[in-house]
Every structure is written in C-alpha cells, then in structure tokens.
Amino acid sequence: MCPVQETLIRAHSPDAVVTDVQFMWNVGVCDGLGVPCVTFNVIVAFSTIAMRHLLGRVSNSEPEVVTTIPRFPAPRYECRRLAHVSGAQLDELTLGLEASGMVFLWVVRTDKWSPPERWHERVGGRGMVATAWAPQRAILAHRAVGAFVTHYG
C-alpha cells in the first residue's frame, strides 16, 4: 500500500476513484475504505483515441487500397536484444534496414562498430542512427510523431 494515496483518499472521502493501472495499490486502498475504484490503462486508451482520429483523415476516394495511414509509421518491426550482438550481426541488420526501404530509428550503443562505407548516403534521409543516448527532442519533433505517452515524469 502507498500511505500518500491512502491519506488523500481518507482526507477527501471521494464517492469513487478512477486510477491508472500503473497505480495498482489504489485498488487495495479503496477496497479497504469501501470506496469504488475503477482502473484503466492510459496507454491503450490513448493509442486507440489517436488511431481513431487519424483514421478519420484517410480518404476513401483513393483509387488504390490504403493499407497504412499516411505519415503514420507502419508496419513497425522491433528488434530488441539484451545479449551481445556481434559485428557481423550488426552488419546484417544494417543491410536489412537499407534493403527494407522503411523509415527507421536505430539506436546502436557500441563504439567498436561502424556501418559499411557510404551506407548513410544510401539510406538518405530515411533513417536516424543514434550511437549514444537517443536525441529525444529531435525524435519527438519529427512530423511522423503524432503523440508521446510516458508513465515517467
């Protein structure tokens, strides 16, 4: 339990509490005080609202079938690995990104590897490679970013 939430709920005697699922202790606090508590997942709700808003902007008069929302990144592939990735594996990933033709952001935290010669020229403006901490302001300023939700401050 979290004493701060319990103190607030006791002090204000609400009729009900609506809380993010991230604050799971609120359910126990409310239960103990006999206050109804509704939880929701803000990230899922927000992404659904954002997608509905964007879908309303897609024209139905297009001659071809629209399989993605214009200016919205899709399909999206994520490759997460917590183990060591060899230089040869990084080379393969590099060539795969180039061959995909997709827009990408790639964070590579290594100082012992660099992309093949002229690779940056070949991928043009389609990609951003961050070799240290990813530049959050530059990423969020990109026109393809429609929303940013975080559970951190």
90-103 per-position pLDDT tens digit: 888 889 888 988 88
Q: Is the pLDDT of residue 16 over 70?
A: yes
Instruction: Write down the mean pLDDT value for the chain.
Output: 73
Confidence tier at 113 by pLDDT (50, 70, 90): confident
User: Cα separation of 108 and 143, whole Å?
Assistant: 23
Q: Bridge-partner residues for 39, per DSSP?
A: 19
> In this predicted model, what pLDDT tens digit does every residue of 120-147 receive, in sequence order?
888 888 877 777 777 778 777 877 777 6
- Residues 57, 45, 151: CA angle, nearest 5 degrees: 115
Where does the chain show beta strands of DSSP type E? Answer: 17-20, 37-40, 104-107, 127-130
Query: What's 78's DSSP letter?
Result: -
Helix (H) or strand (E) run with residue 1 in it: none
Greater confidence, 65 or 48?
48
